[in-house]
Amino acid sequence: MNVFIRVCLLAMVMCIATDTWAQDKRISVSSNVDSATVFIDDVWAGRVSDSPFLASRGASKIAIRLPWLSAWSVEPLLFDLEAGDSAIDALFPYHYRFESTPSGAAVEKEGNRLGQTPFVLVSETPISEDVRVSLPGYLDVVPELGDAIWNLVRVELTADASSMAIGSDHIVPSARKDWVSIAATASAFAAGALAIHFRTKADNRFDDYQISGKESLRSDIQQFDVQSGVALGFMHAGLGIVVFRLAF
């Protein structure tokens, strides 16, 4: 009798397990970024390359996120699992982050103003036309644009010497010139150290975000990313002053 009861219990357990498995949803995910991370109801499920995924019957949403710290500002692609779709095509638009030193430069394409550095431009397709970065007193630059999902376009603007009227009353005494150069060099090194410090903090927060999927971490990433960018801008500005002093 005991053997019969055990067999019956085992059969019941197998039926329950089989029924539960049948209730799981098999979700196929494709994307233009195979390394993108997949979260089902905010729980890490793997990467797109690991598709297909099994989701419980009660699962309500699936989120696809880019895996790079530089692209933390890109919103994840969200899909409603309750709609019953078993195949998801997660296509990310193309992002171009324009940065310049100095900042505040105009970015134009075919005569149309796109924005002012720093800013992010989102396009459904890769940008194939030339883009011009310009700032009064500096030479225009036409940077090379990539065709990746996330593209960082960083431009170093060079002062336009032809627009500078340097008279005798603008000559800086050599002693003062040396002090300015020393101060600019020290500031550049300090700003570079701060940029690395804030970037490291942003990296750590992004690693946590990739594992946990907590949206609250995005504000921390944004804060450290902005601070790192500001410090990097000061570093470039300091180095620019040193080069300018040496040239003139």
How sure is the predictor about 155, in pLDDT bands with cuts at 50, 70 and 90?
A: very high
Cα 24 to Cα 126: distance, rounded to the nearest angstrom: 38
146-165 mean pLDDT: 85
Tokens found for residue 205: 């927060």
CA distance 105 to 137: 11
Tokens of 142: 């036409």
Contact 202, 221 (CB under 8 A): yes
The pLDDT confidence band at residue 5, using thresholds 50, 70 and 90, is low
Residue 17 has pLDDT above 60, yes or no: no
- Helix 217-247 to helix 174-212 angle (10° resolution) is 160
Which has more pLDDT, 184 or 155?
A: 155
Average pLDDT, the chain: 77
What pLDDT was estimated at residue 168? Answer: 44
Residue 85 has pLDDT above 90, yes or no: no
- Mean pLDDT computed over 50-79: 88
CA 187 to chain CA centroid, Å, is: 27
Q: What is the distance between the alpha carbons of residues 71 and 93, in angstroms, rounded to a whole number?
A: 12
pLDDT in tens, 35-62: 999 999 989 999 999 999 998 888 889 9
With a cut of 60, say whether residue 177 has pLDDT above it. Answer: no
Residue with tokens 């692609």: 77
Beta pairing partners, 131: 109
**77-80 and 61-65 beta bridge pairing:** antiparallel
pLDDT value at residue 132: 96
Range name among 29-38, 147-156, 234-243 with the lowest pLDDT average: 234-243
Q: Please provide the DSSP assignment of 88-155 as one string.
A: EEEPPPEEEEEEEESS--EEEETTEEEEESSEEEEESS---S-EEEE-TTB--B------SSEEEEEE
Q: CB atoms < 10 A from the CB of 138, how many?
A: 19
Q: What is the pLDDT of residue 190?
A: 75
pTM of the model: 0.59
